[in-house]
Amino acid sequence: MSNTAAGPSTATSPSTTNTNAQQHAPATLEELLHFLLSEQENSAVQQTLKNFVANKNRDSILASVLASGQDPLDLLHPETNTLGFLYILSARLNVPNAPPPQLAAVEAFCRSFSPTQARLAPERVTALAKGIVHASGDNLKFAVAPLRDLITRYPPNMSYLTTIHPIFLNACVSTQNYTSALPILTSPILNIDLHLSPDLHYNDNLIYHYAGGIVFGALKRWTEAEECFEIVVTAPNQVPSALQAEGLKKLTLVQLILHGKALPPPKFTNSVLIRQFKNSPYFNFAKGYPRTIAKLEPLVMKDEELFKTERNWGLIQQVISRAPRWLIKRLTHIYLTLGLSDIASQIGVRSEDEVRALVLDMVDTGEIIASISASGTVTFSDAASQFSYSKEEIDQALALAQEQSRLLLQLEREMNLSKEYIAKALKHKDEAWGAPDEEMYNTHSGGGWGDDF
């Protein structure tokens, strides 16, 4: 990509630059491009781009080509002309019927833009991320790589939550590209800076961690999935959102897989959310777990349509398939020895060979300590706790949890200072979500979030 000068350039002081920008404000795309290719101070470039013509016409002009038919992006360099490139590229990706930029131009920008310059126009970074998704259409897989570059290079480090996070995770989940999300998800969110993402909303945190739970669940990393869904469920909110209700359903199902039972929700979970959940078939299913598969299947069949509509059917099937293991685990607390045939009758499995294979697999995975004699007698052994944590590790985990809670409360307070946010909250609307997030409410047919389990 070339970096062509549109005319002679002379060094000027910042004050002279600002004065010239005010006296000779560009009025056309050609004039703007000439300005961008001159040596300019970053803040002056940002101010000029922000005030370029009338706001309602700005993006339409930025999204056009030059009178000569040349693409202005071919004349700008992603790193040295980051601000100009960012404004034009985000306009091209979002303005209807604008000439679409080449995918190579999008990828090149996300790989090499100047983070320092980009942070002067954070709203345009959000627009760029959304535009990449929009322009990808049915080929959303092409959005994953540039979004990954954008999310790893834009913030000072990966501990910052930005508006790019939920957009990137949504793309990963929708394309089932789970491994691409892992480097992001395994970096804990410890900082929130509204100067970095002034258009960050409270729901962005929920969306990001809900999507994270989907990713970890799809990869069968149940402990991390539980942590993500718990963050969603316990996020402070006066009125629980629909996504929190969905998160509590998935959290419960993940806990049945991970612990063999649903754990009591933390005491600071919204009481309205808990009451709503207790009136759902998920609560009744969890209350009767674990049982034999023959007893569990009728419980879920009567609500099969609901579970499928909410895209939790696949996850429920995994919960049911785990039931025999939890029933065997329960037997280890009651018996020292038990025959394979006795175990088969108690866990609802017909074949002794199937029980033998199941017990041996549980021994291999460390779920139980047992041995099987030649005559088919299973001897269970007690064991010390499989996990041993030092006081320092426990203190570190508690400190991290407290920091996460503090950050969520901070974001809620800052959002509550926004008149726009308050107006929306009073109307009980989640207008900040936007069309792409409808998938999280399972409103689309096929390819939805719950299917990934």
Question: Which 3-state string (H, E, C) describes 148-166?
Answer: HHHHHHCCCCCCEECCHHH
Angle CA 146–147–151, to nearest 5 = 120
Q: Quick: pLDDT tens for 141-158.
A: 999 999 999 999 999 999
Q: What is the pLDDT of residue 419?
A: 53
Name the token pair of 119.
């942070």
Which pLDDT value is given to residue 38?
86
DSSP 6-19: SS------HHHHHH
User: What are the b/e assignments for 135-153, b being 16+ CB within 10 Å?
Assistant: bbeeebebbbbbbbbbbbe
What domains are there in the chain, each with its CATH number?
Answer: 1-154 (no CATH), 159-279+391-442 (no CATH), 281-381 (1.10.10.10)
Nearest to 98 by CA among 75, 77, 71: 71
- The backbone torsions φ and ψ at residue 442, rounded to the nearest 5 degrees and listed phi first, read 60, 40
Q: Which of 40-44, 312-316, 408-412 has the lowest mean pLDDT?
A: 408-412
The pTM of this model reads 0.79
Q: What is the pLDDT of residues 108-149, one digit of tens each?
A: 999 999 999 999 999 999 999 999 999 998 899 999 999 999
The pLDDT > 70 percentage for the chain reads 82
Residue 366 CB partners (closer than 8 Å, separation 6+): 386
Residues 286-294: what's their mean pLDDT? 94
* Percent of the chain's residues with pLDDT above 90: 70
Summarize pLDDT for 331-372 with one digit per residue, the tens: 999 999 999 999 999 999 989 999 999 999 999 999 999 999
**Mean pLDDT computed over 406-423:** 62
